[in-house]
Amino acid sequence: MPLEGSSESSRALEDRIRLAQRRRLEILVLHVHSPATVPAFADHEPHATRAWDQEFLTRHIATPHEHVRLLRRVGVPGDDIVAVARETTADLIVLAWSQNLGPGRARVVSETLAHTTIPVLLLPVLLSHRRSKRPRTTP
């Protein structure tokens, strides 16, 4: 489950994470840093890296973390998602996405779908601005 760190993508993945945990499946959460976003402590003591990892999981995954393992890479998300899925022999890649295939959009989704033979589950992301534009219904 690649997780870029937005609250919208975190919410989109929550139900699938709960389902996987109920079935006691191992959940690999992948976060890909760009060279500009690598934490400053990444070359320091292991405890700083473990603390960052735990904070990231706590901030973005509301369920208990007993079957969750965070993997971090530095690179290009589409490439790293496919590579990590292959390296870990993942059974499924789960991606949260905004359902926008317009120009310059959905690059990670498109690259992942184009380069993997592993099944991909796409989960819709409800963006904050979309929710505010929904027509109100009365009971």
Residues 76 and 104 sit within 8 Å (Cβ to Cβ)? no
What is the CB neighbour count within 10 angstroms for residue 91?
10
User: What pLDDT does 89 receive?
Assistant: 96
User: What pLDDT does 92 receive?
Assistant: 94
User: What pLDDT does 129 receive?
Assistant: 45
User: What pLDDT does 2 receive?
Assistant: 53
What are the E-state strand segments in 1-139?
Answer: 27-33, 68-74, 93-97, 120-124
User: What pLDDT does 139 receive?
Assistant: 37
User: What pLDDT does 6 receive?
Assistant: 63
Helix (H, G, I), strand (E, B) or coil at 72: strand
Question: What is the C-alpha separation between 88 and 96, in angstroms, rounded?
Answer: 20
Residues 115 and 78 sit within 8 Å (Cβ to Cβ)? yes
User: What pLDDT does 138 receive?
Assistant: 36
Residues 80 and 73 sit within 8 Å (Cβ to Cβ)? yes
Q: Give strand pairing partners of 70.
A: 29
User: What pLDDT does 130 receive?
Assistant: 43
Strand 68-74 with 27-33, pairing: parallel
The tokens describing 25, both together, are: 């499946």
Whether this model's pTM surpasses 0.95: no
Domains along the chain?
7-133 (3.40.50.620)
Question: What is the C-alpha separation between 61 and 113, in angstroms, rounded?
Answer: 25
Low-confidence ranges of the chain (pLDDT < 70): 1-6, 9, 41-45, 127-139
